[in-house]
Amino acid sequence: MKNDLKDLLDRKVETYNQPSFIKDDPVSIPRQFTKKQDIEIAGFFAAVFAWGNRATIINKSTELMQLMNNEPHEFCLHHSAADLKKLLSFKHRTFNATDLLYFVSFFHMHYRKYPSLETAFTQWMNEGDKTVENGLNGFHHYFFSLPDVPQRTRKHIAAPEKNSSCKRLNMFLRWMVRRDSNGVDFGIWKNIDPSQLICPLDVHVIRVASQLQILKRTIPDWQAALELTSFLRTLHKNDPVKYDFALFGTGVTENKVAARRHKRIA
């Protein structure tokens, strides 16, 4: 039974972990860049914006990159007051200019001290950590370590210690850390091992994993993310989160098929 499930999910990974996956996914935003720091910043914003319709996420992320002159690293390090003024009209769902200006301030602070955003996560991790939990908790405190943090901005960065599944941050880490030759994930961070990643708990992932009975927990929290990833690790201990492609891709495809059926019936 387990071998059959592994075979099924491995086939689904092969189907969806392909360059054709990119154009309709938020990962298309950092894929527009070649400079490491631009990839990190663009990927971070695309991941933070990743709730709701994927086309809208891509459009709003593209809009923000254009406001940053398609040089997000340069913008965050060397912006002028006039540059920041251009950001004041930006809004995506509950993310507004107040939040954006704080994010820019954080990146300005961080990249003046470190060459990569990876350090913002790894400096809190310990040798022997089996997951990125300490990195995520440490990042949360570090991100909000600047003075006068807007209270409203805190809701945009999750943490395991708050029992969030950290879907968007886990997706961002997947992009930065996973290494294969398929061209979707970047694999540009070397100090976090793919085996330490946690599967992002997207609604599609939750639904398919529940249908396959590999996720029993009904609350989409950090414990559910650990539960699912623990099972996926039994299928591939070194790269459990590759199955995010299988679960998410299957869920999205099922939704599209159901929508077409409903349209024909209507």
pLDDT of residue 261: 42
pLDDT attached to residue 255: 60
Residue corresponding to tokens 């976090």: 192
Amino acid at position 151, single letter: Q
- Is a pLDDT exceeding 90 seen at residue 262? no
* Parent domain of 80: 2-265
Helix (H, G, I), strand (E, B) or coil at 215: coil
Average pLDDT over the chain reads 94
Distance of CA 243 to the CA centre of its chain: 15
Provide the pLDDT for residue 3: 84
Tally the domains of the chain. Answer: 1
Listed residue (118, 113, 104) closest to 71, CA to CA: 104
- Given a cut of 80, is residue 257 above it in pLDDT? no
Q: How far apart are CA 119 and CA 38, in angstroms?
A: 15
Determine the Cα–Cα distance for residues 90 and 87; give it in Å rounded to an integer: 5
Burial 189-225 (b: 16+ CB within 10 A, else e): beebebbbbbbbbbebbbbbbeeeebbebeebbbebb
Question: Which residues make beta-bridge pairs with 164?
Answer: 221
Task: Read off the pTM.
Answer: 0.94
CA dist 61 and 207 (Å) reads 27
Q: How far apart are CA 13 and CA 11, in angstroms?
A: 5
Q: Is the pLDDT of residue 172 over 60?
A: yes
Please tell me the least confidently modeled range out of 79-88, 188-197, 225-234, 253-262.
253-262
Long-range contacts of 61-70 (CB under 8 A, 24+ apart): 61/26, 61/29, 62/29, 63/90, 64/90, 64/100, 65/29, 65/32, 70/32
What is the pLDDT averaged over residues 36-61?
A: 97
Q: Helices in 79-122 by DSSP H: which ranges?
A: 81-85, 97-113, 119-122
Q: What is the pLDDT of residue 1?
A: 66
Q: How far is CA 261 from CA 24, 52, 84, 180, 254, in A?
A: 21, 22, 47, 36, 11
Answer yes or no: is pLDDT of 43 > 70. yes
Q: Provide, for the chain, the percentages of residues in helix, strand and coil under a 3-state DSSP scheme, each rounded to the nearest 5.
A: 65, 0, 35
pLDDT value at residue 2 = 79
